[in-house]
Amino acid sequence: MPNVAQWLALLAATLYLAGVWRTRHAGKPWSPWRSASFVVGTITLAVAFAAPVNAFAHHDLRGHMLQHLLVGMFAPLGLVFGAPMSLLLRNLAPPRARAMVTLLGSMPVRIVSHPLSAALLDIGGMYLLYLTPLYTQSIATPWLHHVIHLHFVISGCLFSWAIAGPDPAPHRPRWRTRLGVLILAIATHATLGKLMYAWLLPAGTGASPGEIQAAAQWMYYGGDLAELLLLVALMQQWLRERQRAARGKPLPAG
């Protein structure tokens, strides 16, 4: 029987596909690759919260790290590159679409969607979880456990969007700034994996040194893979900008 998280993932996929159907029914184009990306993202979330993975994560730090990678790094890539905000704007009435664009350009959204702010929420949250007693507290506190999962989904999506998301992001910095932040995030994420491996963190879990070090390696290499995919997406955006410039077309904002 699906749990709440899996039902929410299914609901998100259903609403997205309904939006795709409505867009195409109105004669507007929509990339099948975007649709596939979003569906893969929701499937990744559903797998991450499946009963076997939940059980593995509850009893083994390696299982927790697998769940963390799926929830906080790989699923957000699929969701963000499905361009759900662009799809929503195509399905909203013009006044509501304008209101949504205004919201995206508001100061609070501009602050949290800046690559540095998004990186702090995403990577900084990992440091807080694994280098403090927060992780051990979350094991014994179900509501805190769920809040942490929600944080990683949101912060992972926010970071992916801020760096290379296809959805509109008014006042997004130029690609050099985003590339610099991404390189910094890759370095700090790798450093966290090394600290966990060397210092046997998080402490107080009762896990064996081998288990902790294996989890740290999963974080290190799994994080590298997700960040490499984000880097490829950013470089593709840069290439498209160069191609537009070569054809004499104005570059998009950000």
Q: What ranges do the domains of the chain cover?
A: 4-89+108-244
Contacts of 111 (CB under 8 A, 6+ apart): 117
Count CB-CB contacts under 10 A for residue 52.
9
| Tokens, residue 223 | 């994080």
Tokens of 248: 């004499």
**Residues present in the chain in total:** 254
**Residue percentage of the chain with pLDDT more than 70:** 97
pLDDT tens string 160-186: 999 999 998 878 899 899 999 999 999
Residue 241 confidence (pLDDT) above 90:
no
Q: Decide which of 105 and 17 is more confident.
A: 17
User: What ranges in the chain are assigned the alpha helix state H?
Assistant: 4-25, 32-48, 51-59, 61-69, 75-80, 84-91, 94-104, 107-112, 115-130, 134-140, 142-164, 175-199, 209-246
For the cut 70, the answer to whether the pLDDT of residue 250 exceeds it is: no
Which residue is listed with tokens 């999962």?
149
The arithmetic mean of pLDDT across residues 21-49, rounded, is 97
Q: Residues 202-218: pLDDT tens digits?
A: 999 999 999 999 999 99
Residue 254 pLDDT grade (very low, low, confident, very high; cuts 50, 70, 90): very low
